[in-house]
Structure 1
Amino acid sequence: MYYIGIDLGTSAVKLLLMDETGRIDNIVSREYGIAFPHPGWSEQEPADWWDAVCDGIPALLQGFDASLVRGIGAGGQMHGLVVLDKDDKVIRPCILWNDGRTQKQVDYLNNEIGKDKLSRYTANIAFAGFTAPKLLWLRDNEPENFARIEKIMLPKDYINYRLTGVHCTDYSDASGMLLLDVEHKCWSREMLALCGVREAQLPKLFESWQPVGTLTAEAAALLGLPADVIVCAGAGDNAAAAVGCGAVGGGRCNISLGTSGTVFITSDSFGVDSHNALHSFAHADGGYHLMGCILSAASCNKWWNEEILHTQDFAAEQAPITPDKLGANDVYFLPYLMGERSPHNDPAARGAFLGLRMDTPRAALTQAVLEGVAFAIRDCVEIARAQGVEIAASTLCGGGAKSPLWREILANVLGIPLTLPQTEQGPGYGGAMLAAVACGAYPSVQVCADALVRAKSTTEPDPAIVEKYNARYALWHTLYPALKASYAAMEALQ
């Protein structure tokens, strides 16, 4: 039997075909564009996602017996606002997770409604990327579009709707909307009233592994699949990646170095970071998790290499960074190219290099980029540690995790061992695992993860380098507060 995992990312959809033993038999990806209509804005056309899925799945199945496909599960980019009209047509482009236009609405929610109330209603405070501030922005700036809304959903939910005809979401993804009462796993009546929406406009809630329906006749014909293929609710990309890396059940950690960077800490019970610097969300295994999210991670390295150095040979740029240079770099980088979420919640923040001299070599800046992202990840880890959460080790996934140098830097900056799973396909693999549970191949997400996820390699920290990075991190940590007022002044001049 086969299960299809969908990783609906920011720049591409990655599709994988997994058999019941967890083996990946094929992988296909299809790219799509991102629009930046104004500085700090980020949008995509949901039709582009669907077109990519429709083009990719038949290619994924070439050479395989499509009649053996039993289920489909998706992990998707979180927080994006997809709105449909009464005919289920998309009203406007999706406002993405890394869009920063909602600062006025975020300030209103956090300062006028109040962080205490928001945390009580949803277990979280407002961040620029969350869905609820985008709804308020739409109501304030595009009232004609807001009035047409019949259904509100998230990116992967739109794919599930096109597959099944069902308006659905799961608890892990819905947690990032600022509309869900995360502790009680229901829509927050108070937040719906604040945003001027009705519960009927929101999708039905499911656990990530629960079936939401089977393929419509139209979708089955388009994709070349049987109509009885089961589609599960799926999960937000970070929750799906955590499942795919085996971070299931309480007391586990998974770090992702994707377009964004996340620290994902699992728990069997509900809990909230007292400062709300970390997100408190539901997990795809039925439990909960705390999550820190930095908006630019591997995307910083991509920007530095492709846009500034005009190269795609990332390994060649990293080659001069020998082991003796770790913890000894005098150049510092702030990775806030799209503003920042955890822990600063500052859309006005910007990237910066500091410590440049006439004799600074090119490789020092490349190293600074890798270290700056690692330091920002540590910011999130330190928030969790301050709450009494012990993080002794972590799994690691995402495109940045493919770099041995970056793994070594991150392990030493955090001072913990980092383990790469044997099958490192993040959200797509987690989505396929959730589909297998939905189809009854495994009785639970925990049993599925225990059976399928194996370690590939572990990067251990070096105590001497850890000590050097502790000193460098202490200095780096002072840079954002020193520049915060300047960032606000720059924003005011735009």
Structure 2
Amino acid sequence: MLYIGIDLGTSAVKLLLMDGNGEIKKIVSKEYPLFFPNPGWSEQNPEDWFEQSMNGLKELTAECDKSQIAGISFGGQMHGLVVLDEEDNVIRPAILWNDGRTGEETEYLNTVVGKETLSKYTANIAFAGFTAPKILWMKRHEPERFQKIKKIMLPKDYLAYRLCGTFCTDVSDASGMLLMDVKNKCWSKEMLEICSITEEQLPKLYESYEVVGSLKKNIAEELGMTEEVKVIAGAGDNAAAAVGTGTVGEGMCNISLGTSGTIFISSKKFKVDENNALHSFAHADGNYHLMGCMLSAASCNKWWSEEILKTTDFVNEQAGITKLGENNVFYLPYLMGERSPHNDPKVRAAFIGMSMDTTREEMTQAVLEGVAFGLRDSLEVARSLGINIARTKICGGGAKSPLWKKIIANVMNVKVEVIESEEGPALGAAMLAAVGCGEYPDVETATKQFVKTIDTVEPEKELVEKYEERYQKFKNIYPAVKNLF
């Protein structure tokens, strides 16, 4: 049978077709616009998502036997606010994860309601990108529109609703709304009261691999598929990507070096750190995960190389770096502020430790090391909870750099595993579809079939010791400079 994964990203929707053995048959990508109506705002039109997803599905399946398509599932940009009225019309453009308009609402939740109370209700604290602050913003600034709200959903769930008619979401994506009791996987009545909404306005909660419906007749006819094609709940993009890298079960780890950077740790037990430095979310495998998110990761290297050094030749730029563990230059990787573990939107990037003999190579090295040190900050929080990480998968654009992988292995003292096929949330979504359709009994079994390690970067004892000394210095820099911002 054939399975489709739809990754609803911020700039494009990526669609992937695979068979039951995990062989990828075709990948299609369709772009749509992003709107910035005011400084710091970020919006999209949900109809654009649906239209381009339908176009993508037609192109993706044009040459295959459509009778073999068994299921469709999703990975999607998290935290976005999509609101419909009683006639299922979109009330306003979707407010996205990277929208910064909710500063006052976030401050209200964290200080007036209180971080300790929020953590008790949801296992997390408020961030500007989360959904609950957006609902409060709408209530305050667009009261007439707020009164019309009949359905509140996340971006990928709008696609599911249009395809099968089921008002649903999954627990991994819902974890990022600040409306769900993550430990018990149910909506938090206290948070609904704080946001002046009802449970009837929120979708039914499913596990990521559960079937939520099948294609509506008119959709099936337009796509040339049968109405028997199942629609599976899907997951938030990070959880779906983790499925695609085999980061499921107990104590597995994945590091993503994309524009932003994440460290994702799967767990069979619910965990939360006392300072809420890490996100504590439900996972797509039916369990839980902790996640640290850096707002700038590979984008630090891109900024340094392209904007400052005026080069796109990343390979040659890194070729002259030979003195690992001996750099006296430090770089704070906070170009856009920082989320995990500092939750400080005002802090900014900085170089520290230059002297008259500092070289270009040392500055470049400091950028790569700074991102690794920043990710280790989150790893240390996980270790404080008794989680022992000995190895990690790695993905994202930055993972193409052999040097960066070596730095991460030694800064964190973990084995870094490179996987064969890195297709992110789209692959994870297709795997969830396969599980939902019964091809595999559970997500963990599916990942063992699909995910193959092709290379492992081992930490080196001498380098680990050198980087341990460097990290102890690095972690003192942020507390020393944060008041400057």
TM-score range normalised by the length of the shorter chain: over 0.9
Q: 2:102 is matched by which residue type in structure 1? A: T
Gaps of 5+ in 1: 488-494
Name the CA distance, whole Å, in 2 between partners of 1:299 and 1:232.
33
Q: 2:348 is matched by which residue type in structure 1? A: R
C-alpha offsets along residues 311-334 of structure 1, whole Å, 9 cap, x if unaligned?
54433433333xx23223333332
1:299 equivalent in structure 2: 299
The answer to whether the Cα contact below 8 Å between 1:208 and 1:235 also exists between their aligned partners in 2 is yes
2:151 equivalent in structure 1: 151
Normalising to structure 2: TM-score of the pair? 0.94
2:13 equivalent in structure 1: 13
2:392 equivalent in structure 1: 394
C-alpha offsets along residues 409-455 of structure 1, whole Å, 9 cap, x if unaligned?
21111110011222222211111110001111111112212222221
Q: Which moved more, 1:261-270 or 1:180-189?
A: 261-270
The answer to whether the Cα contact below 8 Å between 1:256 and 1:396 also exists between their aligned partners in 2 is yes
2:327 equivalent in structure 1: 329
Q: 2:448 aligns with which of 433, 447, 450?
A: 450
Shift of 1:358: 6.0
C-alpha offsets along residues 32-71 of structure 1, whole Å, 9 cap, x if unaligned?
3433444443333333333332232223234322332111
Shift of 1:458: 1.0
Alignment of 1:459-474 (within 5 A): 459-474=457-472
Q: Which moved more, 1:16-25 or 1:43-52?
A: 43-52
Name the CA distance, whole Å, in 1 between partners of 2:330 and 2:90.
43
Alignment of 1:419-438 (within 5 A): 419-438=417-436
Residue 346 (structure 1) aligned with residue 351 (structure 2): no
Secondary structure of the corresponding residue to residue 29 of structure 2 = strand
2:366 equivalent in structure 1: 368
The answer to whether the Cα contact below 8 Å between 1:421 and 1:457 also exists between their aligned partners in 2 is yes
Name the CA distance, whole Å, in 1 between partners of 2:447 and 2:341.
30
Q: How has the CA–CA distance of structure 1 residues 143 and 252 changed in structure 2, closer, same or farther, with 3 Å as cutoff?
A: same
The answer to whether the Cα contact below 8 Å between 1:44 and 1:96 also exists between their aligned partners in 2 is yes
C-alpha offsets along residues 251-277 of structure 1, whole Å, 9 cap, x if unaligned?
222222223222222221222212211
* % identical aligned pairs: 62
Secondary structure of the corresponding residue to residue 335 of structure 2 = coil
Alignment of 1:83-482 (within 5 A): 83-309=83-309, 311-321=311-321, 324-356=322-354, 360-482=358-480
The answer to whether the Cα contact below 8 Å between 1:40 and 1:338 also exists between their aligned partners in 2 is no
Secondary structure of the corresponding residue to residue 152 of structure 1 = strand
The answer to whether the Cα contact below 8 Å between 1:335 and 1:352 also exists between their aligned partners in 2 is yes
Secondary structure of the corresponding residue to residue 440 of structure 1 = coil
Secondary structure of the corresponding residue to residue 275 of structure 2 = coil
Shift of 1:399: 2.5
Q: 2:237 is matched by which residue type in structure 1? A: D
Name the CA distance, whole Å, in 1 between partners of 2:279 and 2:122.
10
Name the CA distance, whole Å, in 1 between partners of 2:357 and 2:280.
45
Q: 2:319 is matched by which residue type in structure 1? A: A
Shift of 1:169: 0.5
Q: 2:23 is matched by which residue type in structure 1? A: R
C-alpha offsets along residues 12-41 of structure 1, whole Å, 9 cap, x if unaligned?
322211110011122222333433444443
Secondary structure of the corresponding residue to residue 325 of structure 1 = coil
C-alpha offsets along residues 343-392 of structure 1, whole Å, 9 cap, x if unaligned?
11122222333345565544444333322221111110011112221111
Name the CA distance, whole Å, in 2 between partners of 1:344 and 1:23.
41
Shift of 1:5: 1.2
The answer to whether the Cα contact below 8 Å between 1:241 and 1:397 also exists between their aligned partners in 2 is no
The answer to whether the Cα contact below 8 Å between 1:239 and 1:284 also exists between their aligned partners in 2 is yes
Q: Which moved more, 1:35-44 or 1:268-277?
A: 35-44
The answer to whether the Cα contact below 8 Å between 1:98 and 1:338 also exists between their aligned partners in 2 is no
Q: Which moved more, 1:31-40 or 1:102-111?
A: 31-40
Secondary structure of the corresponding residue to residue 395 of structure 1 = strand
**Number of residues of Structure 1 aligned to a counterpart in Structure 2:** 485
Please tell me the root mean square deviation across aligned C-alpha atoms, in Å: 2.1
Shift of 1:121: 0.9
Secondary structure of the corresponding residue to residue 13 of structure 1 = strand
The answer to whether the Cα contact below 8 Å between 1:128 and 1:347 also exists between their aligned partners in 2 is no
Normalising to structure 1: TM-score of the pair? 0.92
Q: How has the CA–CA distance of structure 1 residues 106 and 400 changed in structure 2, closer, same or farther, with 3 Å as cutoff?
A: same
Shift of 1:234: 0.3
